[in-house]
Amino acid sequence: MVNKHKYVTFSKNVFIPVTNICRNRCYYCGFRRDIRDEDAFLLNFDEVEEILRRGREKGCSEALFTFGEYPEAVEGFKEILEEEGYESFIEYVRDLCERALDIGMLPHTNPGSISFEELKILKDVNASMGLMLESTARLKAHEKSPGKDPQIRIRTIEDAGKLKIPFTTGILVGIGERREDRRRSLEVIRDLYEKYGHIQEVIIQNFVPKRETKMENYRALPMDELVETVSLAREILPKEIAIQIPSNLVPLEMIPEMMRCGANDLGGISPITPDHINPESKWPSEEDLREILGDLFLLKERFPIYPAFICERKDGLEKNDGWYSERISNLIERYADDDGFKREG
């Protein structure tokens, strides 16, 4: 299926890795650290604020908060958190989001598999949130990762729908799942959207092996298989859901093909921070993307919350209608054009 959109979107962001301590031990992950590792960390407020201020100076509108899942489940982390004056990690993240709003940036938090109450704590200080479903299959890559239980992740995505949180999810392709697992995962996402209307985009992320992980010798997902999965996603998902490919994990010359197959978003791109989950894969520049897209598609900058949740849309979802708080609304009104994209200039 051809992408019928006249434009391809992206978000200009700063990537803030709050902590790399995590209860999960995914076999493909190069981000997680044990608490005793020299390079294990918890960013403090001053470090986060410095990133946020640099981002605003560069015109970024999104503050992407990513971190290990339930780090307080790891012995010793609570003591580190207490040194910062907190007993709850979710409250710590909430206050970081508050700081981002104060500086003039829209938070998007990827919190992992958290509870309904924890999502509720974060809702009014986030423009949108996200959690990769990854797969509905139970995979060897996740056997030491309690938070990657498919039912737990589905529950979190559903809870976000109940709370009316504009939400990003996706699948990770090439980690041991079968083609029918990919189809099933996309069908589950579709069903959740049809029930709650909250899923704004689905990421089709290709597996890239990382050094010093248990899957370092696995093959990277072939690009023809990624193209196939993008086409499958466009076939299954409603047209209102954007399909994103990570622009730094796909060869630049393949991006037009992905767009022709139905993708229409390139995710976050940062002028000042690396992709801390995939640090070996550099972001392309806006200029690179405009050049490779040529006359095929117009590159447009969006917010972490999609225009559909800012403006009225044809399927009956009314403007705002409880999707975001007044604090978020104030920033959107400051930055957005009439179509819900970032205002130029």
- For the segment 141-168, the average pLDDT, to the nearest whole number, is 98
Instruction: List, for residues 233-246, the tens digit of each pLDDT value.
Output: 999 999 999 999 99
Instruction: List, for residues 186-223, the tens digit of each pLDDT value.
Output: 999 999 999 999 999 999 999 999 999 999 999 999 99
Q: How far apart are the C-alpha atoms of 112 and 70, rounded to whole Å?
A: 8
Give the per-residue SS3 of 214-261.
CCCCCCCCCHHHHHHHHHHHHHHCCCCCEEECCCCCCCHHHHHHHHHC
Q: What is the pLDDT of residue 318?
A: 54
Least confident range of 4-18, 136-150, 260-274? 4-18
| 148 alpha-carbon distance from chain centroid | 16
Instruction: Give the global pTM.
Output: 0.96
pLDDT at 323 over 60: yes
Mean pLDDT, rounded, of the chain: 95
Q: What is the pLDDT of residue 313?
A: 47
pLDDT at 9 over 80: yes
pLDDT at 3 over 60: no
Domain 7-335, CATH number (from 3.30.70.380, 1.20.1440.130, 3.65.10.10, 3.20.20.70) = 3.20.20.70
At residue 233, φ and ψ (nearest 5 deg) are -60, -45
Q: Which residues contact 225 (CB under 8 A, 6 or more apart)?
A: 173, 174
Q: What is the pLDDT of residue 288?
A: 96
pLDDT at 1 over 80: no
Q: What is the pLDDT of residue 343?
A: 93
pLDDT at 345 over 90: no
Band the pLDDT of 294: cuts 50, 70, 90. very high
How many other C-beta atoms are found inside a 10 Å radius of the C-beta of residue 282?
A: 10
Q: What is the pLDDT of residue 314?
A: 42
Is the distance from CB of 61 to CB of 108 less than 8 angstroms?
no
Q: How far apart are the first and last CA of the chain?
A: 34
Instruction: List, for residues 19-62, the tens digit of each pLDDT value.
Output: 999 999 999 999 999 999 999 999 999 999 999 999 999 999 99
Band the pLDDT of 154: cuts 50, 70, 90. very high
Q: What is the pLDDT of residue 255?
A: 97
What are the domain boundaries of the chain?
A: 7-335
Q: What is the pLDDT of residue 4?
A: 54
Q: What percent of the chain has pLDDT over 70?
A: 96
Is the distance from CB of 304 to CB of 331 less than 8 angstroms?
no
Instruction: List, for residues 66-115, the tens digit of each pLDDT value.
Output: 999 999 999 999 999 999 999 999 999 999 999 999 999 999 999 999 99
Angle at 328 between CA 299 and CA 52, to 5 degrees: 70
Q: What is the pLDDT of residue 344?
A: 86
Q: What is the pLDDT of residue 5?
A: 58
